[in-house]
Amino acid sequence: MQTYLRGKDMITTQDWTKSEIDSVMEVAMELKRARAMGKPHAHLRDKVLAMLFFFSSTRTRSSFEAGIAQLGGHGAFIDSTTTQISHGDTAKEIGEIYGRYYDGIAIRQCDWGIGNKYINAVAEASRVPVLNMQCDVYHPFQILADLMTIIEHKGDPRGKTIAVSYAYASSYQKPLSVPQSLILLMTRYGMNVRLVRPPEFKLMPDIVQQAADNAKQAGGSFEIMEDMDEGFAGADVVYPKSWGCWMTTEDEAESVEIGKKYSDWICDERRMSLAKDDAIYMHCLPADRNIEVTDGVIDGPQSVVYDEAENRLHVQKAVMALTMS
């Protein structure tokens, strides 16, 4: 176990060694066990986390705010519109100043082409760890929770097959951060990772190359498929969710029209039957019900979405405890 992670940023899991991520899993399991048994674990007493949101949230705000409180500290929720950011406060100023007020800075900024650069700029100026609550490129805490959930339900991930698949949704052009972070982390754990998507819904080329390199180093595999049925066939884990065709167009209306061509990319009972009998269905939530996934699947016996959502709390607490102590 790695015991000195104080001050380390969590912007992407790629910046952490596998041993360091193993340490996060170990601490997360310990903290989950402690909470289940009602054991106090105020490892961050009197510590304060700034939680700066440019985008709304259900799970992320609640899990970080509850998590820092359970660790004995306090979470300061900051809506970006209530700050002077729009009037001139730069990323450097946020990093410099919040880094002096707080013991950690967590940021959600998902604007395409802006979010990740902004978070890195804050981190460069900050004297305290910066935690990425989701940007346009990465969603590290969701994917750490996903890894924890796979370990709990399937054991050692090595050699297991996961289908990271596009699914149609009509709500909005969602970020690439979840599928990109999934293919990056699961390849590092020796999984056989299938990226399943229509041709217009590519991910960033450098991320795809990193995933392929990870797979080669870890002894797993990485392949790209354009048929949802083929991607689900024989899989141990299926993770179908919507993302925008950002690599094809940044125009919202054009993206909507492209997406309509793939409205049959839904996770339904027929597709689940193509996966292994004991396959698990995962989704970061919120899901567009009966568009992205049927009620029968998301509410069915193979769905682990609520375990997955709970594990956001535990992995975030683990990273905060390791980096902010």
In a domain, 4, yes or no: no
Token digits of residue 117: 């650069």
Same domain, 114 and 193: no
Question: Is the pLDDT score of 38 beyond 80?
Answer: yes
Q: How confident is the model at residue 180 (pLDDT cuts 50, 70, 90)?
A: very high
CB-CB contact of 187 with 211 (8 Å): yes
Query: Look-up: residue for tokens 């390199």?
Result: 213
Q: Which structural domain range is residue 262 located in?
A: 142-308
- pLDDT, residue 74, reads 98
pTM score of the predicted model: 0.98
Q: How does pLDDT run across 282-307, given as a tens digit for each residue?
A: 999 999 999 999 999 999 999 999 99
- Tell me which residue of 20, 10, 25, 50 sits closest to 134, measured CA to CA: 10
Cα separation, 277 vs 297, in Å, equals: 13
Same domain, 179 and 132: no
**Mean of the pLDDT values across residues 222-243?**
98
* Strand, helix or coil for residue 225: strand
> In this prediction, what percent of the chain has a pLDDT beyond 70?
100
CB-CB contact of 238 with 282 (8 Å): yes
Q: Which residues of 206-242 are buried (b: 16+ CB within 10 A; e: fewer)?
A: ebbebbbebbeebebbbebbeebeebbbebbbbbbbb
176 phi and psi angles, rounded to 5 deg: -85, 0
Same domain, 280 and 151: yes
- pLDDT, residue 171, reads 74
Which CATH number does the domain housing residue 44 bear? 3.40.50.1370
**Mean of the pLDDT values across residues 82-111?**
97
For strands 74-79 and 104-109, give the pairing: unpaired
Same domain, 89 and 146: no
Q: How does pLDDT run across 117-133, given as a tens digit for each residue?
A: 999 999 999 999 999 99
Taken as a whole, the chain contains a residue count of 325
Q: Which strands make up the sheet holding 48-53, listed edge to edge?
A: 74-79, 48-53, 104-109, 130-135
